[in-house]
A and B are shown apart, each in its own frame.
Chain A
């Protein structure tokens, strides 16, 4: 019953060679890939359980850092792993699992902040976490406004992080950023996540990416300056 369909049709020789060649390439590819396949053939449960063992502490610490609530942090980490379980097929096996998990975590943290700001009074949404625009920092010619032009920072080296009060100021200033900006800054400058993942997870267009980071940095810089370096000048 078996017959090679290529035998039935007369092909010119060069086409036959292409068939043979492509077959040998296929064999080589499968031979090279087979040991990798075995490694990837672990069940979804096994892989995700390994991820829990390796990364849950770091994820939990980050969630705790951003939400300041044990209950919320635990819920967020749990939701993150459940989302990873459900979306496991979407995970690109060549990329690092922790980068992917942190991206999901950030998304969950943003959801959490959204829920919180909905239940909080309107004031805290429009007031503290207001998205500053460029015109808050620059005049119509694009020059620094008198009240926003960067001032000299004294003793602003790495050692200042040893001061818990400064860490508190820095953390509070990060917390005052709108949720999406907050996550963008953390992903970019703390995790070194690549821009495509940041845009995808935070639903920012790539043309808005630098605009978001720029405004977030402007606001963060200003907040640190007012609250730490020049607390007498507002």
Chain B
């Protein structure tokens, strides 16, 4: 019962980590924001989760930029695609 009550006020870790993900995309509502702030103040695991989650997002973004820089040009494929499309009706 006590646990239910604390989770109602301070969120469970599973809910908190979900909100951390949501927060990276769009601002949370007032209640959720306050709940998450309180939860993060007392929960070490979720605090680390937040840092690492943001870090992973930024890795993925840079990884994409890097793979875009190392674009593999495939001229043959390009020519083949263009001729396939030209022959289509």
Q: How far is the CA of A70 from the CA of B75 in the complex (A)?
A: 13
Total chain A interface residues with beta-carbon distance under 8 A: 55
Q: How far is the CA of A150 from the CA of B49 in the complex (A)?
A: 6
- A74 at interface by CB-CB < 8 Å: yes
Given A141-B3, A142-B7, A143-B13, A191 and B64 contact (CB-CB distance below 8 Å): yes
Partner pick for A144 among B45, B56, B62, B70, CB 8 A cutoff: B45
List the count of A-B residue pairs having beta carbons below 8 Å apart: 124
Q: Are B78 and A185 in contact (CB under 8 A)?
A: no
- B30 at interface by CB-CB < 8 Å: no
Chain B interface mostly: helix
Scan A120-136; emit 1 where CB is below 8 A from any B CB, else 0.
00000000000000100
Total chain B interface residues with beta-carbon distance under 8 A: 44
Given A49-B86, A57-B71, A77 and B56 contact (CB-CB distance below 8 Å): no
A208 to chain B, nearest CB (A): 12
Q: Are A161 and B85 in contact (CB under 8 A)?
A: no
Given A56-B74, A141-B7, A142-B12, A61 and B80 contact (CB-CB distance below 8 Å): no
Partner pick for B52 among A141, A158, A221, CB 8 A cutoff: A221
- Which residues in A have some Cβ–Cβ distance to B below 8 Å? 45, 48-49, 52-53, 56-58, 60-62, 64-65, 74, 77-78, 81-82, 85, 134, 137-138, 141-144, 149-153, 156-158, 160-161, 167, 170, 185-186, 188-191, 195, 210-211, 213-214, 217-218, 220-221, 224-225
